[in-house]
Amino acid sequence: MSEQHQNLAIIGHVDHGKSTLVGRLLYETGSVPEHVIEQHREEAEEKGKGGFEFAYVMDNLAEERERGVTIDIAHQEFSTDAYDFTIVDCPGHRDFVKNMITGASQADNAVLVVAADDGVAPQTQEHVFLARTLGIDELIIGVNKMDVVDYKEDTFDEVVEEVNQLLKQVQFQTDGASFIPISAFEGDNIADESGETPWYDGRTLLEALNDLPAPEPPTDAPLRLPIQDVYTISGIGTVPVGRIETGIMNIGDNVSFQPSDVGGEVKTIEMHHEEVPKAEPGDNVGFNVRGIGKDDIRRGDVCGPADEPPSVAETFQAQVVVMQHPSVITAGYTPVFHAHTAQVACTIESIDKKMDPASGEVAEENPDFIQSGDAAVVTIRPQKPLSIEPSSEIPELGSFAIRDMGQTIAAGKVLDVDG
Protein backbone atom coordinates (compact mmCIF):
# COMPACT_ATOMS: atom_id res chain seq x y z
CA MET A 1 0.00 0.00 0.00
CA SER A 2 1.12 3.52 -0.77
CA GLU A 3 0.41 6.47 1.45
CA GLN A 4 -1.19 8.74 -1.10
CA HIS A 5 -4.54 8.17 -2.65
CA GLN A 6 -5.88 9.14 -6.07
CA ASN A 7 -9.36 8.83 -7.49
CA LEU A 8 -8.97 8.08 -11.14
CA ALA A 9 -11.63 8.26 -13.84
CA ILE A 10 -11.33 6.25 -17.04
CA ILE A 11 -13.23 8.12 -19.71
CA GLY A 12 -13.75 7.79 -23.44
CA HIS A 13 -16.13 6.71 -26.17
CA VAL A 14 -18.00 3.43 -25.85
CA ASP A 15 -16.01 0.47 -27.20
CA HIS A 16 -12.72 2.35 -27.22
CA GLY A 17 -11.45 0.01 -24.53
CA LYS A 18 -12.13 1.49 -21.06
CA SER A 19 -13.14 -1.77 -19.38
CA THR A 20 -10.34 -3.67 -21.07
CA LEU A 21 -7.87 -1.08 -19.84
CA VAL A 22 -9.17 -1.34 -16.29
CA GLY A 23 -8.79 -5.12 -16.47
CA ARG A 24 -5.28 -4.68 -17.80
CA LEU A 25 -4.29 -2.23 -15.05
CA LEU A 26 -5.61 -4.60 -12.38
CA TYR A 27 -3.83 -7.50 -13.97
CA GLU A 28 -0.47 -5.77 -14.40
CA THR A 29 -0.47 -4.45 -10.84
CA GLY A 30 -1.50 -7.75 -9.32
CA SER A 31 -4.82 -6.37 -8.16
CA VAL A 32 -7.24 -8.82 -9.71
CA PRO A 33 -9.63 -9.92 -6.97
CA GLU A 34 -8.43 -13.01 -5.15
CA HIS A 35 -11.55 -15.05 -5.90
CA VAL A 36 -11.03 -14.57 -9.63
CA ILE A 37 -7.47 -15.83 -9.31
CA GLU A 38 -8.55 -18.77 -7.17
CA GLN A 39 -11.23 -19.73 -9.61
CA HIS A 40 -8.73 -19.61 -12.42
CA ARG A 41 -6.19 -21.73 -10.58
CA GLU A 42 -8.76 -24.45 -10.03
CA GLU A 43 -9.92 -24.43 -13.61
CA ALA A 44 -6.37 -24.34 -14.93
CA GLU A 45 -5.43 -27.31 -12.77
CA GLU A 46 -8.45 -29.26 -13.95
CA LYS A 47 -7.49 -28.64 -17.52
CA GLY A 48 -3.84 -29.29 -16.74
CA LYS A 49 -2.85 -25.82 -17.92
CA GLY A 50 -0.55 -23.35 -16.29
CA GLY A 51 -0.16 -19.65 -16.78
CA PHE A 52 -2.45 -16.85 -15.93
CA GLU A 53 -3.73 -15.30 -19.07
CA PHE A 54 -5.00 -11.78 -19.34
CA ALA A 55 -7.80 -12.88 -21.67
CA TYR A 56 -8.96 -15.23 -18.97
CA VAL A 57 -9.05 -12.45 -16.42
CA MET A 58 -11.03 -10.28 -18.79
CA ASP A 59 -13.54 -13.05 -19.43
CA ASN A 60 -14.07 -13.41 -15.73
CA LEU A 61 -14.41 -9.70 -15.18
CA ALA A 62 -16.83 -9.45 -18.09
CA GLU A 63 -18.86 -12.38 -16.88
CA GLU A 64 -19.12 -11.00 -13.37
CA ARG A 65 -20.03 -7.63 -14.76
CA GLU A 66 -22.85 -9.13 -16.78
CA ARG A 67 -24.17 -10.85 -13.72
CA GLY A 68 -24.07 -7.42 -12.09
CA VAL A 69 -22.15 -8.85 -9.16
CA THR A 70 -19.15 -7.37 -7.48
CA ILE A 71 -17.09 -6.49 -10.48
CA ASP A 72 -17.74 -3.26 -12.21
CA ILE A 73 -15.13 -1.05 -13.69
CA ALA A 74 -15.96 1.38 -10.93
CA HIS A 75 -14.39 1.07 -7.53
CA GLN A 76 -11.58 -1.21 -8.51
CA GLU A 77 -8.29 -0.50 -6.84
CA PHE A 78 -4.67 -0.84 -7.80
CA SER A 79 -1.40 0.59 -6.58
CA THR A 80 1.79 2.01 -8.00
CA ASP A 81 4.82 3.00 -5.92
CA ALA A 82 3.45 6.46 -5.28
CA TYR A 83 -0.29 5.98 -5.11
CA ASP A 84 -3.22 3.81 -4.27
CA PHE A 85 -5.66 4.38 -7.10
CA THR A 86 -9.38 3.95 -6.88
CA ILE A 87 -11.05 3.83 -10.25
CA VAL A 88 -14.22 5.84 -10.05
CA ASP A 89 -17.28 5.57 -12.23
CA CYS A 90 -16.97 7.02 -15.63
CA PRO A 91 -19.62 9.21 -17.22
CA GLY A 92 -22.45 7.13 -18.59
CA HIS A 93 -22.12 4.52 -15.91
CA ARG A 94 -25.12 4.13 -13.68
CA ASP A 95 -23.86 5.69 -10.48
CA PHE A 96 -21.30 8.08 -11.86
CA VAL A 97 -23.13 11.29 -11.15
CA LYS A 98 -24.53 10.14 -7.85
CA ASN A 99 -21.08 9.19 -6.62
CA MET A 100 -19.60 12.31 -8.06
CA ILE A 101 -21.97 14.60 -6.22
CA THR A 102 -21.93 12.76 -2.93
CA GLY A 103 -18.18 13.16 -3.13
CA ALA A 104 -17.69 9.42 -2.87
CA SER A 105 -15.80 9.41 -6.08
CA GLN A 106 -14.82 12.84 -7.19
CA ALA A 107 -12.02 12.06 -9.60
CA ASP A 108 -8.70 13.86 -9.22
CA ASN A 109 -7.30 12.88 -12.58
CA ALA A 110 -8.42 10.92 -15.61
CA VAL A 111 -7.23 8.61 -18.32
CA LEU A 112 -8.89 9.35 -21.63
CA VAL A 113 -9.06 6.28 -23.85
CA VAL A 114 -9.17 6.97 -27.58
CA ALA A 115 -9.13 4.05 -30.01
CA ALA A 116 -6.44 4.54 -32.64
CA ASP A 117 -8.67 3.08 -35.35
CA ASP A 118 -11.55 5.44 -34.60
CA GLY A 119 -10.04 8.67 -33.25
CA VAL A 120 -12.09 11.35 -31.51
CA ALA A 121 -15.73 10.19 -31.32
CA PRO A 122 -18.87 11.86 -29.87
CA GLN A 123 -18.41 10.60 -26.31
CA THR A 124 -14.73 11.52 -26.42
CA GLN A 125 -15.85 15.12 -26.80
CA GLU A 126 -18.61 14.82 -24.23
CA HIS A 127 -16.38 13.24 -21.61
CA VAL A 128 -13.55 15.70 -22.13
CA PHE A 129 -16.02 18.53 -21.73
CA LEU A 130 -17.48 16.93 -18.60
CA ALA A 131 -14.02 16.26 -17.19
CA ARG A 132 -13.11 19.89 -17.57
CA THR A 133 -16.42 20.99 -16.06
CA LEU A 134 -15.93 18.73 -13.08
CA GLY A 135 -12.48 20.01 -12.37
CA ILE A 136 -10.27 17.12 -13.43
CA ASP A 137 -6.71 18.37 -13.10
CA GLU A 138 -4.74 16.27 -15.50
CA LEU A 139 -5.44 13.98 -18.38
CA ILE A 140 -3.38 11.07 -19.55
CA ILE A 141 -4.43 10.05 -23.04
CA GLY A 142 -4.12 6.39 -23.90
CA VAL A 143 -4.25 6.01 -27.66
CA ASN A 144 -5.58 2.48 -27.53
CA LYS A 145 -5.87 -0.48 -29.91
CA MET A 146 -2.47 0.33 -31.43
CA ASP A 147 -2.31 -3.37 -32.36
CA VAL A 148 -5.31 -2.85 -34.65
CA VAL A 149 -3.46 -0.16 -36.63
CA ASP A 150 -0.21 -2.16 -36.81
CA TYR A 151 1.49 0.12 -34.27
CA LYS A 152 1.84 2.83 -36.91
CA GLU A 153 3.41 6.05 -35.72
CA ASP A 154 1.49 8.10 -38.31
CA THR A 155 -1.84 6.91 -36.98
CA PHE A 156 -0.76 7.71 -33.43
CA ASP A 157 0.32 11.22 -34.49
CA GLU A 158 -3.01 11.83 -36.21
CA VAL A 159 -4.96 10.88 -33.10
CA VAL A 160 -2.69 13.05 -30.93
CA GLU A 161 -3.36 15.98 -33.26
CA GLU A 162 -7.14 15.42 -33.16
CA VAL A 163 -7.25 15.14 -29.37
CA ASN A 164 -5.03 18.19 -28.95
CA GLN A 165 -7.47 20.20 -31.04
CA LEU A 166 -10.34 19.02 -28.88
CA LEU A 167 -8.48 19.95 -25.69
CA LYS A 168 -7.78 23.39 -27.08
CA GLN A 169 -11.44 23.84 -28.03
CA VAL A 170 -12.66 23.13 -24.52
CA GLN A 171 -9.75 25.08 -23.03
CA PHE A 172 -8.38 22.14 -21.15
CA GLN A 173 -4.87 23.07 -20.15
CA THR A 174 -2.81 20.87 -22.40
CA ASP A 175 0.59 21.28 -20.74
CA GLY A 176 0.09 18.30 -18.49
CA ALA A 177 -1.51 16.06 -21.09
CA SER A 178 0.60 13.07 -22.00
CA PHE A 179 -0.16 10.79 -24.91
CA ILE A 180 0.79 7.14 -24.79
CA PRO A 181 0.37 4.58 -27.59
CA ILE A 182 -1.13 1.52 -25.89
CA SER A 183 -2.91 -1.72 -26.47
CA ALA A 184 -5.05 -2.56 -23.47
CA PHE A 185 -5.64 -5.97 -24.91
CA GLU A 186 -2.04 -6.87 -25.77
CA GLY A 187 -0.51 -4.92 -22.90
CA ASP A 188 1.75 -2.62 -24.92
CA ASN A 189 3.21 0.34 -22.97
CA ILE A 190 1.02 -0.34 -19.96
CA ALA A 191 3.50 -1.77 -17.45
CA ASP A 192 6.45 -2.35 -19.79
CA GLU A 193 7.86 -0.55 -22.75
CA SER A 194 6.58 -2.19 -25.91
CA GLY A 195 8.87 -3.64 -28.56
CA GLU A 196 6.17 -2.86 -31.11
CA THR A 197 6.57 0.91 -30.81
CA PRO A 198 10.31 1.60 -31.18
CA TRP A 199 9.41 5.13 -32.33
CA TYR A 200 7.96 5.93 -28.90
CA ASP A 201 10.38 6.72 -26.07
CA GLY A 202 7.99 8.22 -23.53
CA ARG A 203 6.60 6.77 -20.34
CA THR A 204 4.44 3.69 -19.96
CA LEU A 205 0.91 4.25 -18.71
CA LEU A 206 1.76 3.04 -15.21
CA GLU A 207 4.78 5.35 -15.10
CA ALA A 208 2.62 8.29 -16.15
CA LEU A 209 0.07 7.40 -13.47
CA ASN A 210 2.81 7.12 -10.88
CA ASP A 211 4.10 10.59 -11.86
CA LEU A 212 0.76 12.37 -11.42
CA PRO A 213 0.86 15.27 -8.97
CA ALA A 214 -0.56 14.47 -5.55
CA PRO A 215 -4.04 15.82 -4.97
CA GLU A 216 -4.02 18.56 -2.39
CA PRO A 217 -6.53 18.12 0.40
CA PRO A 218 -8.70 21.25 0.58
CA THR A 219 -7.69 22.16 4.13
CA ASP A 220 -7.44 25.90 3.45
CA ALA A 221 -11.06 26.33 2.40
CA PRO A 222 -13.67 27.05 5.08
CA LEU A 223 -15.17 24.03 6.84
CA ARG A 224 -17.95 22.34 4.88
CA LEU A 225 -19.44 19.20 6.35
CA PRO A 226 -22.69 18.00 4.74
CA ILE A 227 -24.79 16.13 7.28
CA GLN A 228 -25.55 12.55 6.34
CA ASP A 229 -27.52 11.51 9.44
CA VAL A 230 -28.40 12.73 12.88
CA TYR A 231 -28.26 10.32 15.82
CA THR A 232 -29.07 10.52 19.48
CA ILE A 233 -26.46 8.75 21.55
CA SER A 234 -26.97 8.29 25.27
CA GLY A 235 -24.36 10.00 27.38
CA ILE A 236 -23.46 12.34 24.54
CA GLY A 237 -26.68 13.70 23.07
CA THR A 238 -27.29 14.70 19.48
CA VAL A 239 -24.61 13.48 17.09
CA PRO A 240 -24.71 14.62 13.47
CA VAL A 241 -22.47 12.55 11.22
CA GLY A 242 -20.97 13.25 7.84
CA ARG A 243 -17.82 13.54 5.82
CA ILE A 244 -15.73 16.69 5.90
CA GLU A 245 -15.48 17.98 2.34
CA THR A 246 -13.30 21.01 2.99
CA GLY A 247 -11.61 22.75 5.89
CA ILE A 248 -10.82 21.64 9.42
CA MET A 249 -13.07 21.11 12.40
CA ASN A 250 -11.60 21.65 15.88
CA ILE A 251 -13.11 21.13 19.28
CA GLY A 252 -14.18 24.55 20.53
CA ASP A 253 -15.02 25.89 17.04
CA ASN A 254 -18.20 27.85 16.66
CA VAL A 255 -20.22 26.27 13.88
CA SER A 256 -23.41 26.96 11.99
CA PHE A 257 -25.79 24.52 10.27
CA GLN A 258 -27.43 25.76 7.08
CA PRO A 259 -30.18 26.00 5.94
CA SER A 260 -31.53 25.03 9.40
CA ASP A 261 -29.80 28.18 10.66
CA VAL A 262 -28.76 26.99 14.10
CA GLY A 263 -25.31 26.74 15.63
CA GLY A 264 -23.11 26.43 18.66
CA GLU A 265 -19.75 25.27 19.95
CA VAL A 266 -18.24 21.90 18.99
CA LYS A 267 -17.91 19.88 22.19
CA THR A 268 -16.64 16.52 20.92
CA ILE A 269 -15.49 15.01 17.63
CA GLU A 270 -15.39 11.28 17.11
CA MET A 271 -13.78 9.32 14.31
CA HIS A 272 -13.63 5.51 14.10
CA HIS A 273 -15.11 5.37 17.63
CA GLU A 274 -12.34 7.46 19.08
CA GLU A 275 -12.39 11.02 20.28
CA VAL A 276 -10.16 13.32 18.27
CA PRO A 277 -9.30 17.00 18.80
CA LYS A 278 -9.71 17.87 15.12
CA ALA A 279 -10.73 16.41 11.79
CA GLU A 280 -9.80 17.08 8.17
CA PRO A 281 -11.15 16.73 4.61
CA GLY A 282 -12.10 13.14 3.87
CA ASP A 283 -12.67 12.28 7.52
CA ASN A 284 -16.00 10.72 8.43
CA VAL A 285 -16.93 12.16 11.76
CA GLY A 286 -19.66 12.21 14.36
CA PHE A 287 -19.66 15.28 16.55
CA ASN A 288 -21.64 17.05 19.17
CA VAL A 289 -22.55 20.72 19.30
CA ARG A 290 -23.61 22.48 22.48
CA GLY A 291 -27.31 23.29 22.54
CA ILE A 292 -28.24 21.45 19.33
CA GLY A 293 -31.07 18.89 19.60
CA LYS A 294 -32.07 16.13 17.21
CA ASP A 295 -34.92 18.12 15.70
CA ASP A 296 -32.89 21.27 15.14
CA ILE A 297 -30.89 19.88 12.22
CA ARG A 298 -31.37 17.34 9.45
CA ARG A 299 -29.72 15.45 6.64
CA GLY A 300 -28.83 17.86 3.87
CA ASP A 301 -27.74 20.60 6.26
CA VAL A 302 -24.17 21.77 5.80
CA CYS A 303 -22.06 22.57 8.83
CA GLY A 304 -19.52 25.39 8.50
CA PRO A 305 -17.81 28.07 10.60
CA ALA A 306 -20.25 30.49 12.27
CA ASP A 307 -18.33 33.42 10.77
CA GLU A 308 -18.22 31.90 7.26
CA PRO A 309 -21.47 29.91 7.12
CA PRO A 310 -22.49 27.77 4.13
CA SER A 311 -24.58 29.81 1.70
CA VAL A 312 -28.28 29.17 1.23
CA ALA A 313 -29.72 29.65 -2.22
CA GLU A 314 -32.92 31.54 -2.94
CA THR A 315 -32.05 30.95 -6.58
CA PHE A 316 -28.83 29.88 -8.24
CA GLN A 317 -27.35 29.83 -11.70
CA ALA A 318 -25.75 26.65 -12.90
CA GLN A 319 -24.20 25.01 -15.88
CA VAL A 320 -25.91 21.71 -16.62
CA VAL A 321 -25.27 18.87 -19.02
CA VAL A 322 -28.36 16.86 -19.98
CA MET A 323 -27.31 13.23 -20.14
CA GLN A 324 -30.51 11.39 -20.78
CA HIS A 325 -34.03 12.71 -20.88
CA PRO A 326 -36.81 11.10 -22.91
CA SER A 327 -38.27 14.41 -24.07
CA VAL A 328 -37.41 18.09 -23.84
CA ILE A 329 -36.72 20.15 -20.73
CA THR A 330 -38.43 23.54 -20.57
CA ALA A 331 -38.69 26.30 -17.95
CA GLY A 332 -41.00 25.25 -15.11
CA TYR A 333 -39.66 21.70 -14.95
CA THR A 334 -39.28 20.67 -11.29
CA PRO A 335 -37.21 17.51 -10.80
CA VAL A 336 -35.31 16.48 -7.66
CA PHE A 337 -31.82 17.86 -7.28
CA HIS A 338 -29.22 15.84 -5.42
CA ALA A 339 -26.50 18.05 -4.03
CA HIS A 340 -24.06 16.67 -1.44
CA THR A 341 -26.39 14.96 1.08
CA ALA A 342 -29.45 17.06 0.23
CA GLN A 343 -32.35 16.09 -2.01
CA VAL A 344 -34.61 18.99 -2.85
CA ALA A 345 -37.16 19.59 -5.60
CA CYS A 346 -36.04 22.57 -7.64
CA THR A 347 -37.71 24.44 -10.48
CA ILE A 348 -35.76 25.34 -13.58
CA GLU A 349 -36.93 28.93 -13.74
CA SER A 350 -35.27 29.91 -16.97
CA ILE A 351 -32.96 28.45 -19.57
CA ASP A 352 -30.53 31.24 -20.14
CA LYS A 353 -28.03 29.95 -22.66
CA LYS A 354 -27.37 26.83 -24.61
CA MET A 355 -23.71 25.94 -25.00
CA ASP A 356 -21.88 24.00 -27.63
CA PRO A 357 -20.87 20.90 -25.63
CA ALA A 358 -17.62 20.55 -27.51
CA SER A 359 -16.36 24.11 -27.31
CA GLY A 360 -18.24 25.37 -24.26
CA GLU A 361 -19.18 28.49 -26.24
CA VAL A 362 -22.65 30.02 -26.26
CA ALA A 363 -24.70 28.49 -29.08
CA GLU A 364 -28.09 30.11 -28.34
CA GLU A 365 -29.46 32.73 -25.93
CA ASN A 366 -32.72 31.94 -24.09
CA PRO A 367 -33.57 28.72 -25.91
CA ASP A 368 -37.13 27.37 -25.52
CA PHE A 369 -35.91 23.98 -24.44
CA ILE A 370 -32.92 21.71 -23.97
CA GLN A 371 -32.62 17.97 -24.49
CA SER A 372 -30.25 15.02 -24.15
CA GLY A 373 -26.73 15.94 -25.11
CA ASP A 374 -27.21 19.66 -24.51
CA ALA A 375 -25.19 21.80 -22.16
CA ALA A 376 -26.85 24.95 -20.84
CA VAL A 377 -26.77 27.71 -18.27
CA VAL A 378 -30.00 27.71 -16.28
CA THR A 379 -31.51 29.58 -13.32
CA ILE A 380 -32.86 27.34 -10.59
CA ARG A 381 -35.21 27.96 -7.67
CA PRO A 382 -35.16 25.38 -4.87
CA GLN A 383 -38.64 24.63 -3.51
CA LYS A 384 -37.20 24.29 -0.01
CA PRO A 385 -34.11 25.97 1.44
CA LEU A 386 -30.95 24.42 0.01
CA SER A 387 -27.35 25.04 0.96
CA ILE A 388 -25.14 25.04 -2.09
CA GLU A 389 -21.97 26.90 -3.10
CA PRO A 390 -20.55 28.37 -6.29
CA SER A 391 -18.24 25.72 -7.63
CA SER A 392 -15.54 28.32 -8.27
CA GLU A 393 -15.40 28.91 -4.50
CA ILE A 394 -15.99 25.44 -3.06
CA PRO A 395 -16.00 22.85 -5.89
CA GLU A 396 -16.78 20.08 -3.43
CA LEU A 397 -20.17 21.65 -2.69
CA GLY A 398 -20.80 23.18 -6.08
CA SER A 399 -22.02 20.24 -8.10
CA PHE A 400 -25.28 18.35 -8.27
CA ALA A 401 -27.24 15.75 -10.16
CA ILE A 402 -30.79 16.08 -11.41
CA ARG A 403 -32.85 12.94 -11.07
CA ASP A 404 -36.28 12.10 -12.35
CA MET A 405 -38.15 8.86 -12.91
CA GLY A 406 -35.43 6.93 -11.10
CA GLN A 407 -32.70 8.10 -13.43
CA THR A 408 -29.96 10.66 -13.43
CA ILE A 409 -30.93 12.93 -16.26
CA ALA A 410 -28.45 15.74 -15.86
CA ALA A 411 -25.43 16.92 -13.92
CA GLY A 412 -24.30 20.39 -13.19
CA LYS A 413 -22.13 22.82 -11.37
CA VAL A 414 -23.15 25.98 -9.59
CA LEU A 415 -21.99 29.25 -11.12
CA ASP A 416 -23.63 31.78 -8.81
CA VAL A 417 -25.82 31.79 -5.72
CA ASP A 418 -28.41 34.45 -4.82
CA GLY A 419 -29.19 34.16 -1.15
Which of these ranges, 96-104, 180-188, 313-321, 399-407, lies near ligand GDP under the rule CB under 6 A?
180-188
Nearer to ligand GDP, 151 or 185 (CB): 185
Among 6, 18, 376, 401, binds ligand GDP (CB under 6 A): 18
Q: Is 185 in the site for ligand GDP (CB under 6 A)?
A: yes
Contact by Cβ (8 Å): 322, 378: no
Q: Is 243 in the site for ligand GDP (CB under 6 A)?
A: no
Q: How far is the CB of 18 from ligand GDP (least distance, A)?
A: 3
Q: Is 155 in the site for ligand GDP (CB under 6 A)?
A: no
CA-CA-CA-CA torsion for 94, 96, 98, 99, nearest 10 degrees? 130
Nearer to ligand GDP, 22 or 279 (CB): 22
284 vs 298: CA distance, rounded Å: 17
Q: How far is the CB of 107 from ligand GDP (least distance, A)?
A: 16
Nearer to ligand GDP, 61 or 344 (CB): 61
Q: Is 184 in the site for ligand GDP (CB under 6 A)?
A: yes
Q: Is 147 in the site for ligand GDP (CB under 6 A)?
A: yes
Nearer to ligand GDP, 25 or 409 (CB): 25
- Residues facing residue 86 across a β-bridge: 7, 77
Alpha helix positions (H), 152-204 = 153-169
Nearer to ligand GDP, 147 or 270 (CB): 147
58 vs 61: CA distance, rounded Å: 5
48 vs 45: CA distance, rounded Å: 5
Q: How far is the CB of 135 from ligand GDP (least distance, A)?
A: 23
Q: Let me know if 68 is exposed, middle or buried by CB neighbors in 10 A (0-12, 13-18, 19+).
A: exposed
Nearer to ligand GDP, 20 or 399 (CB): 20
Q: How far is the CB of 145 from ligand GDP (least distance, A)?
A: 4
Q: Let me know if 47 is exposed, middle or buried by CB neighbors in 10 A (0-12, 13-18, 19+).
A: exposed
Q: Is 15 in the site for ligand GDP (CB under 6 A)?
A: yes
Could you list the beta-strand ranges (E) of 153-247: 178-181, 225-233, 237-243
**Closest CA relative to residue 202, chosen from 188, 213, 223:** 188
Neighbouring C-beta atoms of residue 275, cutoff 10 Å:
9
- Taking the mean position of all CA atoms in its chain, how far away is CA 247? 20
Could you list the beta-strand ranges (E) of 356-406: 362-365, 375-382, 386-387, 399-404
Among 14, 214, 345, 362, binds ligand GDP (CB under 6 A): 14
Q: Is 158 in the site for ligand GDP (CB under 6 A)?
A: no
Q: How far is the CB of 241 from ligand GDP (least distance, A)?
A: 36
Nearest-CB residue to ligand GDP?
17
Among 6, 19, 105, 197, binds ligand GDP (CB under 6 A): 19
Per-position x/- string for 105-144, each x denoting binding to ligand GDP as judged by CB under 6 A, each - no binding:
---------------------------------------x
Q: Is 148 in the site for ligand GDP (CB under 6 A)?
A: yes
Q: Is 20 in the site for ligand GDP (CB under 6 A)?
A: yes
- Taking the mean position of all CA atoms in its chain, how far away is CA 374? 20
45-74: which residues touch ligand GDP (CB under 6 A)? none
Cα–Cα separations (whole angstroms), residue 222 to 204, 351, 357, 389:
39, 31, 32, 12
**Closest CA relative to residue 237, chosen from 293, 278, 276, 277:** 293
How many residues bind ligand GDP (CB under 6 A)? The answer is 15
List residues binding ligand GDP (CB under 6 A): 12, 14-20, 144-145, 147-148, 183-185
